[in-house]
Chain A
Amino acid sequence: MDARSDLPQGTLDLLILKVVALGPVHGYSVAQRLQQVSRDVVQVPQGSLYPALHRLENRGLLAAEWKQTDSGRDAKFYRLTRKGKAQLEMQTASWRRLSEAVALILRLSEAGAE
């Protein structure tokens, strides 16, 4: 069985926003970063990456512009908008709260089992 787990629902957007927040990037490097940073633990389906990027762009959280890469090729670069930044902060905070709560519950039940 594959050891890597699927992304929980709704977290892909958060991860994309976080990666893009580091500076303008194109879609391929978003995919690469996600994979590298998560040390291959989380499987990022490349197929759903682009629809997610486009959705965020349409919602005005990301802005895109065509620029040349270092190797001189045209690529679509995404960057965070002011609205995207606010969204990122809000989602990060809410994710923290949620994961802490989940961790707390898990610890509690482990203690009860012992």
Chain B
Amino acid sequence: MAQALESDPEFEMVLGMASRNPTVALERTDFVHADQTYSIVSRIVRATRPDTIVHTFMVTDSTRATGRALHETNVIGTMNLLAAAGQAGSPVRQVVVKSSTLIYGSSATDPAWFSEDAVRTSAPTTRVEKSLMDVEELVRNFAEDNPSTVVSLLRFANVLGTDIVTAISTNLSKRLCPSIAGFDPLVQFVEEDDVVRALEHVTRRRVPGIYNVAGAGKLPWSEVAALCGTRLLPLPPYGTRLAARPLVQMKLLELPPELEILLRFGRGVDTSRIAATGFEHRYTTAGAVESFIRALRLRRTVGQARPSYTYEHEVEQFFRRSPSVVSHADN
């Protein structure tokens, strides 16, 4: 995201903040370490007076964080961020929040396509969904209290792509991937480039509102697995959790609760609203799957494909601050 933003000269300064080091080379983005709950954000806002905050650290995969860490990062992190953005005399004119279509849940009573206004038909049962409900509530309140700030909330479908690692991508890159016997749900994906492009789009155009972001079309889970060259391992439709537990412990598969319900009923979201703002997805669902497979094939053949970048604080500081570095702007 920062890479995309810094390439645009319209943005005077880009400041990155995360609890981990950046994994890609950043040209002119300043980087600050933060703790899990981003408690430092308020001081940073006061010090740097940004006019836009892009909030992308939401955890939407419960295998990536423990229950507590997930709550801290998503709910408390968002709370701190919005508090910072909403403080008296705040210079912030736009807040962009990355959410997920997990917010709609997945159940038999669902429509085949959710619009942004759809109300979920079943109560949230998983931690991620509950935390996202809390987060969106915070964002809604913030938008109400700060009518002069542009608030954009993007709900992304499950992300697949060249680099991202999620429970789904882990499962699909193995020989066996879980399914629930008797169910072959239709699933929808968004390619990671489209994720960045969508965030960039709403940031640049200052588009307020809630938008679904997902590749066009849906694919049956069995077809996704077949495309990725993995076999389906059908888990019993009843007592799925129990049957999966030993397999999860043996690291044969990953089955967070939000994936289990997805594998039963699937989910689709309608993206006509973001399309109306002028955003065009570059990948369809099938395209996202293909992009993932191509990266997977390369990884299988040559190992970790891209020479991975390591962030070194001193080096980056040197390039950004030292007077002996010739600035690009001068050339």
Q: Do A and B come from one complex?
A: no
Which residues in B have some Cβ–Cβ distance to A below 8 Å?
none
